[in-house]
């Protein structure tokens, strides 16, 4: 036992820097997302799905512009810093190269945004939002996370970002109170990180004693040339990632964008926690990437990914309810589907960090992302073409009581304005029907058909009966309050008993949903032309 403890202690001591780097990288990424999730339920409810969807859509668009600014400089710069962590001259030159290069591209991106906004109505209408979120690119320039990762000092990065993000929580809760405060919300989430970026840049100059150097045009060309493979890698990955939000926003609506964003949030936290493994290991492993070492890393990462996917499937629904409420439940199946990307991110990241980059096979990194992007876009196009030729059918049903002018309809559960239990619904119904001779009611099923050409047809199926003066307790079943009240005089049995009878034993009696489905099928046969 003592030998095992000594072995574990030895392994920890030998990899203390790696463990510390991983901890702070993981804590940085996860804390950002946790803080985001603290803010999210408040923001999505106060701003509303529409306004919040606009924010997500604009932010996603800005990521495409940020692609120009970052270009792919970070990874080759990180490699140089990791190989020469104690050489101040090398570090100063690398920081200067990246700073100047990103600044030039930032100016170019700003010009592109301004010009493009003149021709795209949505962009022009929300141009101020674009400009404010665009300022986040300055954080990328002023706060070189890659530098601190290379020298394995992620503690500073983590603490600085944590303070900035924690500061945003009270500001949002105090000042953001309605959908009209969308602009203020964007200002808070954009400008506070900029303050952190300025502080980090000052720290770099004063504490790290980085000296900004004049970089010749020849050196800048070399910097761009070395970063080009990583630019393509980043470009393909970013286009693949952000295009889904763009497609949903362009072909559906901003509320759908908000739902997609919630699904992404459920997946992003575990994905970042796991993929931080590769980033933390990179400085320590880059100089000694043996085949066996890579295989061992991949094996453990596979186990981790499978466990996390299972957890999302098991608990994702409840997470959606907590974060977004019942009107965001569509995010759950999307989150389960997207959870598979946790595995692919881990394995692909392992290959990139420990196989392609150490062997200077940068072309393979770009090729990998290119194939992924093209595959995704082809699937997206095929899905949209398929979607445009789909018949969409929606349904709902409810009890309509004649003496109550058709109440409650589809609003049974919130009939009196708040969430009601089965017993409360039964008592409320009987109370409203006191002293009323007319107790006729009908259970109505409604189907709405949306054809590919935009036509819409509404179909009904009804079952008539009466509401009893007293509930039949033997018919009680949780979740179905009218089961113990709705009686069918035509057959002299309760309605639920009719539903439980085989079709052949009902003497030709059809249920409302059977009528509606039959009418629906007939209408589709007559009206749909592919």
Provide the CATH number for the domain around residue 481: 3.90.950.10
> Does 164 lie in the same domain as 135?
yes
274 domain-assigned: yes
Highest mean pLDDT: which range of 165-179, 278-292, 305-319: 165-179
Q: Structure pTM?
A: 0.56
> Does 176 lie in the same domain as 260?
yes
pLDDT score for 13 = 47
Annotation marks residue 453 as catalytic: no
Q: How many CB atoms lie within 10 A of CB 445?
A: 20
Q: How far apart are CA 403 and CA 236, in angstroms?
A: 62
> Does 311 lie in the same domain as 227?
yes
The three-state DSSP-derived secondary structure of 449-495 is EECCCCCEEEEEEEEEEEECCCCCHHHCCCCCHHHHCEEECCCCEEH
The total domain count for the chain is 2
> Does 173 lie in the same domain as 73?
yes
11 domain-assigned: no
Task: Kindly give, in sequence order, each residue whose CB lies less than 8 Å from that of residue 327, ignoring residues fewer than 6 positions away.
Answer: 49
501 domain-assigned: yes
> Does 290 lie in the same domain as 152?
yes
> Does 473 lie in the same domain as 375?
no
- Of residues 436 and 356, the one with the higher pLDDT is 436
Q: How far apart are CA 283 and CA 358, in angstroms?
A: 11
Boundary of a domain, candidates 344, 366, 388: 388
Q: Which helix (H) or strand (E) holds 441?
A: strand 440-450
Instruction: At 324, list the tokens.
Output: 């977004």
> Does 482 lie in the same domain as 334?
no
Q: Which residue out of 396, 416, 422, 453 is catalytically annotated?
A: 396
Q: Residue 55: exposed, middle, or buried by beta-carbon count in 10 A (0-12, 13-18, 19+)?
A: buried
Residue 529: left (phi > 0), alpha (psi -120 to 50), or beta? beta
> Does 383 lie in the same domain as 397?
no
Boundary of a domain, candidates 330, 355, 388: 388
What pLDDT digit, counting tens, does each position of 60-109 carry? 888 878 888 888 888 788 878 877 877 888 888 888 888 898 889 899 98
> Does 88 lie in the same domain as 223?
yes
Q: How far apart are CA 495 and CA 466, in angstroms?
A: 10
441 domain-assigned: yes
pLDDT score for 440 = 93
Q: Which helix (H) or strand (E) holds 159?
A: helix 154-175
Q: How far apart are CA 281 and CA 291, in angstroms?
A: 15
322 domain-assigned: yes
Boundary of a domain, candidates 340, 355, 388: 388
**pLDDT at position 352 over 70:** no
> Does 461 lie in the same domain as 319?
no
For 513, the domain range is 392-527
Highest mean pLDDT: which range of 6-15, 145-154, 487-496, 515-524: 487-496
> Does 263 lie in the same domain as 153?
yes
Instruction: At 92, list the tokens.
Output: 């100063």
> Does 145 lie in the same domain as 57?
yes
Q: Is the dihedral of CA 366, 372, 375, 377 positive or negative?
A: negative
């Amino acid at each position: 036992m003592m030998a095992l403890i000594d072995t574990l202690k030895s392994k920890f001591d030998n990899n203390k820097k790696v463990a510390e780097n991983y901890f702070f990288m993981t804590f940085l990424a996860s804390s950002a997302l946790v803080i985001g999730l603290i803010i999210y339920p408040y923001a999505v409810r106060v701003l509303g799905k529409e306004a919040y969807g606009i924010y997500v859509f604009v932010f996603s668009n800005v990521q495409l512009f940020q692609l120009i600014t970052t270009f792919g400089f970070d990874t080759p710069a990180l490699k140089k810093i990791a190989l020469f962590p104690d050489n101040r001259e090398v570090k100063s030159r690398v920081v200067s190269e990246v700073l100047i290069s990103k600044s030039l591209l930032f100016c170019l991106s700003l010009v592109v945004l301004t010009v493009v906004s003149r021709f795209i109505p949505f962009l022009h209408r929300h141009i101020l939002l674009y400009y404010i979120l665009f300022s986040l690119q300055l954080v990328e320039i002023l706060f070189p996370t890659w530098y601190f990762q290379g020298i394995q000092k992620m503690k500073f990065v983590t603490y600085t970002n944590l303070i900035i993000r924690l500061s945003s929580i009270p500001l949002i809760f105090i000042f953001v109170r309605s959908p009209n405060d969308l602009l203020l919300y964007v200002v808070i989430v954009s400008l506070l990180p900029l303050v952190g970026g300025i502080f980090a840049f000052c720290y770099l100059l004063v504490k790290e004693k980085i000296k900004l150097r004049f970089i010749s045009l020849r050196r800048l060309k070399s910097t761009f040339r070395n970063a080009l493979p990583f630019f393509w890698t980043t470009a393909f990955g970013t286009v693949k990632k952000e295009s889904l939000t763009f497609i949903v926003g362009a072909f559906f609506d901003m509320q759908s964008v908000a739902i997609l964003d919630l699904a992404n949030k459920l997946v992003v936290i575990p994905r970042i926690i796991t993929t931080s493994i590769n980033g933390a290991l990179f400085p320590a492993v880059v100089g000694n990437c043996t085949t066996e070492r890579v295989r061992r890393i991949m094996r453990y990462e596979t186990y981790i990914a499978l466990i996390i996917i299972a957890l999302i499937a098991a608990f994702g629904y409840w997470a959606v309810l907590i974060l977004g409420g019942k009107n965001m439940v569509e995010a759950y199946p999307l989150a389960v589907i997207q959870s598979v990307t946790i595995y692919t991110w881990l394995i692909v990241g392992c290959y990139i960090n420990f196989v392609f980059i150490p062997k200077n096979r940068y072309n393979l990194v770009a090729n990998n992302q290119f194939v992924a992007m093209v595959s995704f876009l082809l699937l997206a196009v095929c899905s949209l073409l398929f979607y445009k030729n789909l018949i969409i059918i929606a349904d709902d049903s409810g009890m309509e009581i004649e003496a109550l002018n058709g109440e409650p309809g589809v609003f049974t559960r919130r009939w009196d304005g708040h969430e009601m239990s089965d017993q409360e619904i039964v008592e409320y119904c009987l109370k409203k029907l006191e002293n009323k001779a007319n107790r006729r009611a009908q259970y109505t099923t409604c189907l709405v058909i949306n054809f590919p050409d935009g036509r819409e047809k509404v179909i009904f199926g009804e079952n008539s009966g009466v509401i009893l003066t007293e509930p039949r307790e033997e018919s009680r079943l949780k979740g179905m309050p009218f089961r113990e009240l709705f009686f069918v005089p035509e057959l002299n049995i309760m309605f639920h008993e009719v539903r439980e009878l085989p079709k052949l034993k009902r003497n030709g009696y059809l249920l409302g949903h059977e009528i509606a489905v039959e009418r629906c099928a007939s209408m589709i046969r007559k009206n749909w032309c592919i």
